[in-house]
Every structure is written in structure tokens, then in C-alpha cells.
Chains A and B, each alone.
Chain A
């Protein structure tokens, strides 16, 4: 007797055959361009050919801080995503990039050992993307002795004041200076400017010193405040900062999103938002913090020194960065922009090498980079053989509006009251480093 199952079985088999034929006939999907091939609105990764690279691997490695409460590996992950995209698009003239992330736990002796391992044991072609609270101070002399030129995202001051390290960002000191400048010129701060930074690593003296120079040049008093993280009393701290500034004064908060958002909320709770002019460094220029800021009445009242151009501008590099972020499951953020730029500039350096890619040839190419255009930065980026490096020294200022980050002052140069800024501008002029 024919079972009821037979017609179902026949239908199933027919379906499978149909799908197989369809897949065969359709051929490789080629209607829409792959990620990184470059379209009108999206940049391309490396050569942008859409062909997978299978050649000899190029080993790059980086060091990132990862401890409870601090996770800088996000930057490395974005750089890695960019390198993978480059590998999917022809690689470096057929060679593929292998990027390894090392994490460190804030132990100086281990960090020194890591740098040695990367260069002397793993024989990496380049040390790339390092984002660490201690790598620059501990290892910069070692990198100089080995002739390694690092393209990184910097935090402590040593990442900007040494010959062999160039950062894609400008760090807290200079983004604070940008905020201070906007607060004075657009926000009309009177009397006193208070700058508050974390005490960790002694960075407060460095990060606060810059905006204090800007304040002094404008005839204002400046108070440098350092707070121990984690903050044990955000409400009291906010009150203190406002008291220090006095009515009509300015308060710059130089904290990562975690602490800064808490401070924004505290200011709202304590009802002090209208008493002073507010400023912040880059980490709060994202939508999540914007929502908190707007909810607490900061719309138009805060000046954020944003080291990079806005997120979601629709421009090529920015769009590709967001696509890559989306691909690896991360939200679009400043960390992502940093990782992307590291990936892009390193790739450009590798592509510019004529001949075999070795430690020597890559590093020579890295230090020779100049006029690196990208819509994520205000001005083109460069490395060059200089005593210190501040290639990113022009920045827009942003504020909150209805839960979004909007630019309230387009790209403006960091005030030339700081020695590193002066030296950078002089070098740019002399060597035509960012004329575009």
C-alpha cells in the first residue's frame, strides 16, 4: 500500500535538487561588491580587488591593556578586522597579514618582556596598534634601540613625546586643549577653568597641563584636579568641581565613558548644569552618553574635544569603519576609529614597500609616511623622522542635542601654546607633511 509519506518524500527530494541546481546556475555571488572593494560611499581595504590573498604571511603584533575595568583590545580588534578585510581584497600584493594581539596586565616587567618577545622571538615585521597605559613609558627606549617605528593609539604622554612612536589620536592633553579653546571662545568662560583627570599613572599632571596653558593664555585661573578611580562619590565630586570653578567658570572632565556618564548624571541630579560651562575629552562622543547628557540638560552646554570627526558622517572611511565594527559585533565608537586608522596607515606603509617585506623595510616605510588622507581626521596624518610626534593636532568640537552628538565647531587647530604643538606645526610646514 502506498504510504502517505511517499508524496512528501518526493517533494522534499525535488526541493533539494531544485536548490542545488539554483546554486550551481547562480554561480558565485557577484552582484553586490564585497566588503572592502570600495564603492562610491565606502572606502576600500588595501588594494580592494575582492580576491583572497594566500601568499606568505606578514606577522604584525600589538600590546593592549586588559585588566578588570580597562579593555583596550577593542582598538586591536578593529585593526584586525581591517587587516582581514585587506586579506580578502588582494592582501599586500598577494601576501596576507597575520595580526596577533597580546594583552598586558599593567606589570612593567612583563610589558618589557612582551616587547622583547615580539621583536626578538616572534620576529614580527612590525609592532602595531599598541594601546596600553604603560607600553610607551616602559618600552620606548627599547623600540628606539631596535629601530622599530610604531603606529599606535596613545594614552600616556610618552606616546607623543618620543621619536619612534606616532599615534593616530592626540591623547587627553590635546583634546582637553581643544575643549578648553572652544569653551573660552564659544562658551565665554569667566574666572576659573577646572580640569579634572584620573590620577592613575600620574597622567593628571600631563593631561591637565595643556588646557591650563590655554586658560592662562586667555587670562583665566586654572585648577588641576586629579581623582582616584573608581570614584567613590560622583555627586560630591561634581559639587566640588563646580565649587572650584565658581559661577560662570569652566569645568573640563577628562574621563572615559564609565566615569564621565556618572558625572553627567550627578550634575543633573545636583542641579548644577547651568552654573558652569562644561567640557570633556573624546571618550564621551557617542550616542549612549549623548542620551544621558541630553536627559540631564547638557544640550548645547558641553564642549567635547573630539579627536576624530563625527561618527556616522556617511563618508567613505567612516562608513567602512562602521561596517567593519558591525561585522565583528562592536558598536561604532572612537576606539573603532582608532583601530581603523591604525589598520589603514599600516597597510599603506606595507603597500609602499618596494621589494621584500622585512622588519627593516616595513619600519622604514612606516616612518616615511606623510600626507595620509582620511575623512576620519581633520588633516592628513604623517609619521616622519622627528623628535616627537603629534600628527593629529586639529580637532572639531561637539556637543549633545536631543540624544545625538552634533559638531558645534568644525575642525580647528589645537592652540599653539604647547611646545609639542609648536614643534609639530613647524615640522609640518618644513617638510610638507599634511598639505593634502
Chain B
């Protein structure tokens, strides 16, 4: 009898919690949909240069999200994600010239190849502490810069390297885009959709079994090992997922740039990515979106476009990122994505209280 009552109680509680989840999910889902609608419909109206900047921001957000998976979820830092982006862009460009596979297949293949490269790079440091991984990936970023300056990006030539010099200017080709999404506005929308899919894949991982294993590893590796979690496997899985995401993003980037150039990537960019990813918020996917905006839109706004005619040079932006990184690590490890809603909530409460004081008291 008591058992039946408990069961009934339990079922009612479960039903309540499910409806609660449903409501929370519904609100969040509505928010995301609204945001996406705005992005897809309104952003391209700002002009061609803005469209290109927003496309870059979307791609960058995916790379920031990959860093979020590695550091935010598992506690492994990679200072070479931009190095992986360079590798992915190269692979995407090479494959696009070497084959005529449809663009979505190209994205997938680039992602898979980059995934293999990423796992190989992370392998030496997987068994050592997080600091070693950071150092190895930083050196990897430096190594990639050296190699890409030697090889340059493919532009329609033959052989493994596939780079034609300026002497053959008439034979130089641009990386192709998906058919019927050739122009910048359409391609922007295509990129945003692919990025959303990547975010969804990452989210599925995080809320599933890998996510739970990663959480355990981040808390305590010894405890995780004791509960039978295969640490090396799950760390490699995180690396694989992060590299896959960067791989797809790289292929998108190759088509976005149309003529990728080694000069567009500097070793410092990997560190700037870390700064913006942390400032945006390493523990949430919204943080990755903020990081994309910070790293692409803000510099464009203040250096090329100008805010009401006022421009500054890129060095000031670098200083701001440095200060922002220190501030985030010191006071708000969750970054803007975590801090902003808190600040808004505090502001809301403050306003409510002030409004309460202004309301006429009952006599």
C-alpha cells in the first residue's frame, strides 16, 4: 500500500519534472529559432562586406566551440586550433580541386581527414597533464605556419601541393562553393545552417554518454579510472570530435575565402582564439557564438568599417583581448555567456526593486 503510494508520488513527480523540462526546452528552443531567423534573414541585408564578416564569425564560432569541448568539457587546452583550421582549409581546398564530389560530401571527407590528423597530433600528450598538451599544441601551431608558408594553399595546380605561382595567373582557380549557393548571401546562409548542424552534433555528444564521461574526467581522473571509464579513449574521442568540427569549418572557410592565402593566418591567431573563446564563455555554446562575433565582427567594426567614422588599429584590439582574457580568468571563468545573463538578471531585480519603491504603498 505504502509502496503504491510512493510509486504514484514518484510518477507524479516525474511527470512534473518532464513538463518542467519541456517548458525550459521550449523557451530555449524558441530563443534559438528566433536568433537563427534574425541571422539568416537580416544579416545579409547589411551589405557584402558585412555578410562576409558574419560568415567568418559563424565559422570561427564553430572553432571556438571545438575549443569549448576540449577545455570546457574535458579540461584539455589546445593552443593550436587555428593550426588545425589551417590544415583543414588546406585539405578542403586540395580535395575540392582534386575531385568533383558534391559539396556536402566534401565537407564530410574534410572533417574526417582532419579528425585523423587531430587525433595524431594530440596523441603524444594525451597521457600527460593538460599543460603539456597546451605546449605541444602551441608548437604544432608554429609548425603549421612554417609548413603552410612553404606549401601555400592549392589553387588548381597538380601534384600533392597543387599551388600555381603568379606566372600562371590565367590558370589559377578559386575553391568552389556548393552549386546554387554560389553568391555571398546564399553561401552565408548555407554556412550558418552547417554550423548549426555542427553545434547540434556537439550538443548531442555533450548531453550523451561521452559528455558524462568527459565530466567525470574533468572532475578527477583517478575517480573516473576507478569507475571503469577508459580515459584515453574518451580523451581521444573529444579530440576527434573537436578536430572533425574544425575540419568541416575549414572546408567552409576555404570556399568562403575562394583563394585562401597563407598570409591570412598567423601563429598569434591561435592565442587570440583562446582569448576570445574564454571571453565569450568556454562552458556554453552561446559563448562560442559570442567568441565568433568578438574575433571577427569587432575587429572589422573598429579597423576597416569604423564606428561613426572612428577607427583604431588592430593592435588596440589585441590589447583589449589580452585584458579581457585576464579579466575573464580572474573574475568570471564562464565568460560573457555566463556573466551577461547574470548581470541582466541582477539588473532586472534592481529595476524591480526600484519600481517597487516607487509604487504607492497601501495606506
Contact B304 A102 (CB under 8 A): yes
Do A206 and B258 form a contact, CB below 8 Å, given A108-B264, A110-B53?
A: no
In angstroms, how far is the closest chain A Cβ from the Cβ of B149? Answer: 5
Quick one: which of A109, A117, A140, A203 has the most chain B CB within 10 A? A109
CB <8 Å contact, A209 and B53: no
B residues whose Cβ falls under 8 Å from a Cβ of A: 47-49, 51-53, 55-56, 145-146, 149-150, 152, 163, 165-167, 169-170, 172, 184, 256-264, 299-300, 303-304, 313-315
Asked if A106 meets B48 with Cβ closer than 8 Å, knowing A137-B166, A228-B150, the reply is no
- Give Cα A67 to B261, complex, Å: 14
Chain B contact surface mostly: helix
What are some 27 contacts across the A-B interface (CB < 8 A)? A66-B313, A103-B304, A105-B299, A105-B304, A107-B56, A107-B264, A108-B260, A108-B264, A109-B52, A110-B49, A110-B52, A110-B53, A110-B300, A110-B304, A116-B48, A117-B48, A137-B259, A137-B261, A140-B169, A157-B165, A161-B167, A162-B169, A201-B261, A202-B165, A202-B166, A203-B165, A205-B165
Whether A272 is near chain B, meaning CB under 8 Å from some CB there, is no
Q: Which residues of A contact B169 (CB under 8 A)?
A: 137, 140, 157-158, 161-162
* Docked complex Cα distance between A200 and B262 (Å): 7
Contact B167 A206 (CB under 8 A): yes
Asked if A27 is an interface residue, CB under 8 A from chain B, the answer is: no
Question: What's the minimum C-beta distance from A223 to chain B, rounded to whole angstroms?
Answer: 16
* Residue A134 CB within 8 A of the other chain: yes
Closest B residue, CB atoms, query A171: B166
**A108→B257 contact, CB < 8 A:** yes
Q: Could you tell me if B257 and A109 are in contact, using CB atoms closer than 8 angstroms?
A: yes
Q: How large is the interface on A (under 10, 10 to 19, 20 to 34, 35 or more residues)?
A: 35 or more
Q: Give the Cβ gap from B5 to chain A, nearest Cβ, in Å.
A: 66
Q: Tell me the smallest distance from the CB of A130 to a CB of chain B, in Å.
A: 15
Whole-angstrom distance between the Cβ of B138 and the nearest chain A Cβ:
16
CB pair B150–A68 under 8 Å, yes or no, is: no
- Which residues of B lie under 8 Å from residue A16 when comparing CB positions? none
Residues of chain A with a CB closer than 8 A to B49's CB: 110, 113-114, 116-117
Residue A156 at the B interface, CB < 8 A? Answer: yes
Structural contact, A106 and B264, CB atoms closer than 8 A? yes
A103 to B260 CA separation, bound complex (whole angstroms)? 18
Q: At the interface, yes or no: A39 with Cβ under 8 Å from chain B?
A: no
Interface flag for A417 (CB, 8 Å): no
Q: Is the CB of B150 within 8 A of A226?
A: yes
A405, CB-defined interface residue at 8 Å: no
Write the nearest CB–CB distance from A169 to chain B, whole angstroms.
15
Ranked 7 nearest A-B pairs via Cβ = A157-B166, A113-B49, A202-B152, A205-B165, A108-B257, A109-B52, A161-B169
Given A68-B315, A200-B263, 20 new contacts (CB under 8 A): A66-B313, A107-B257, A108-B257, A109-B56, A109-B257, A110-B304, A116-B48, A117-B49, A121-B47, A137-B166, A138-B258, A138-B259, A157-B165, A158-B169, A161-B169, A200-B149, A200-B262, A202-B152, A202-B166, A202-B262
Q: How far is the CA of A112 from the CA of B51 in the complex (A)?
A: 12
Cα(A158)–Cα(B299), bound, Å? 28
- The answer to whether the Cβ of A287 comes within 8 Å of any Cβ in the partner chain is no
Please indicate the chain B residues that have their CB under 8 angstroms from the CB of A138 in the complex.
258-259
| A206 in complex: contacting residue of B56, B165, B256, CB < 8 Å | B165
Partner of B256, one of A68, A109, A116: A109
